[in-house]
Amino acid sequence: MTNMSTRTANPVRQQREHRVAVLLFDRPAMFETAVAIEVWGNDRTSQGVPYSELRLCSNEGPRLRVDVGFDLHLDHGLEALEWADTVILPNGGRPDPLIEYDPVVLEALRRAHSRGARLLSFCSGAFALAATGLLDHREATTHWTYMNQFRARHPSIDLQPDVLYCGSDGLFTSAGTSAAIDLCLHLVREDWGAEVANTVARRMVVPPHRDGGQAQYIEQPVPTSVDVDADLRAVLQWVEGNLERQLTVEELARRAAMTPRTFARRFKAATGTTPLQWILHQRVVASQRMLETTTLSVDEIAATVGFGSAAALRQHFTKVVGSTPSAYRATFRHAA
């Protein structure tokens, strides 16, 4: 899967906008729909993020009812699937994911994939994607509450119950709610590299750690001013520029003008982790960025980011990322 890097993103060359169609059914899931909009529907070109155009579409529109008491008015029908580079199914429709899908919709999805569009589902959207037959004999996942229903309805699909997302060859599925964010950031990284993905992650202020059944290459974004006060923020920024040093809680506490105990308590309240674990993760993140964007050896990177030895870097890198530094470089060097 994927992990992200830090700081300001570098501009990525782009011949035209990336086109994203979000296919909605009646009673659409607003959280998952909003994830797609947040990742691809905001203009962040001033921050180095390539431009995407996003269209909400449905064959049940133009007006869709949302369960929480409002309507969506859509400007696009299924023709958006012929236009899109990426097609997203945020959920499988209401009242449950075992509904029968319009053959016209399923055929439109198959045509989109056959011409090269990437299809991805969030949560129960896997049911609609599976109904096309495109996932047969492939790995897929969905929300844990739907696992038994999905397995019974689609026995030919290799269901992966312990992952946050999975996929290949233009077909991706993710588990519920925030796993959609993980998948989106993974794809942003594949498309445009670590710097861009981390810029998007920072703006979304995603959780600092994601547990899952497989290693996820998702960086913990550095907490921003939304998360921490000025004293802690200044320390975090200083640490980023001094990873090669032997850093201790006592030194960081002095810089924040706090006692070590107070500093550790406030740090964990703001970031959700301990100072030393946060530093360790930033060293891994920095090493990822260098593996992607430089030709420095593993030994040189280890010294630069403060691990001290290549063995220490390999140990911590493999634990956090789920891949060796060399394998990671071979996979992601092209995305720099």
Please name every residue paired with 83 in a beta bridge, in sequence order, or none if there are none.
none
DSSP H or E segment with residue 174: strand 171-174
| Digit-coded pLDDT (tens) for 75-101 | 999 999 999 999 999 987 764 666 789
DSSP state of 138: S
Residue 289: what residue type?
R
Residues with Cβ within 8 Å of residue 200, at least 6 apart in sequence: 39, 44, 49, 185, 188
Closest by Cα among 154, 160, 117, 112 to 133: 154
**For residue 4, pLDDT beyond 90:** no
For the chain, helix (H) and strand (E) counts, in that order, are 14, 10
What is the per-residue pLDDT for 189? 85
Q: In the predicted model, what is the mean pLDDT of residues 325-336?
A: 70
What CATH number does the domain located at 18-204 have?
A: 3.40.50.880
What CATH number does the domain located at 230-335 have?
A: 1.10.10.60
Q: Is 104 left (phi over 0), alpha (psi -120 to 50) or beta?
A: alpha
Q: In the predicted model, what is the mean pLDDT of residues 210-230?
A: 43
Please provide residue 296's backbone torsions phi and psi, each rounded to the nearest 5 degrees.
Answer: -60, 145
**For residue 314, pLDDT beyond 70:** yes
Q: In the predicted model, what is the mean pLDDT of residues 120-130?
A: 94
Residues with Cβ within 8 Å of residue 53, at least 6 apart in sequence: 17, 18, 19, 20
Instruction: For residue 185, give Cα distances in angstroms to 42, 60, 142.
Output: 14, 29, 17
Every domain of the chain and the residues it spans: 18-204, 230-335
Instruction: For residue 144, give Cα distances in angstroms to 136, 155, 322.
Output: 19, 16, 23
pLDDT class for 215, splitting at 50, 70, 90?
very low
Residues with Cβ within 8 Å of residue 280, at least 6 apart in sequence: 316, 320
**For residue 48, pLDDT beyond 70:** yes
| pTM of the predicted structure, to 2 decimals | 0.62
- Average pLDDT over all residues of the chain: 83
What is the per-residue pLDDT for 225? 35
Compute the C-alpha angle 16/19/23, nearest 5°. 175
Q: Which of 10-14, 63-67, 293-297 tops mean pLDDT?
A: 293-297
pLDDT class for 212, splitting at 50, 70, 90?
very low
What is the per-residue pLDDT for 204? 82
| Digit-coded pLDDT (tens) for 148-200 | 899 999 999 999 887 888 999 999 999 877 889 989 988 998 888 878 888 88
**For residue 269, pLDDT beyond 60:** yes
**Cα end-to-end distance, the chain, whole Å:** 16
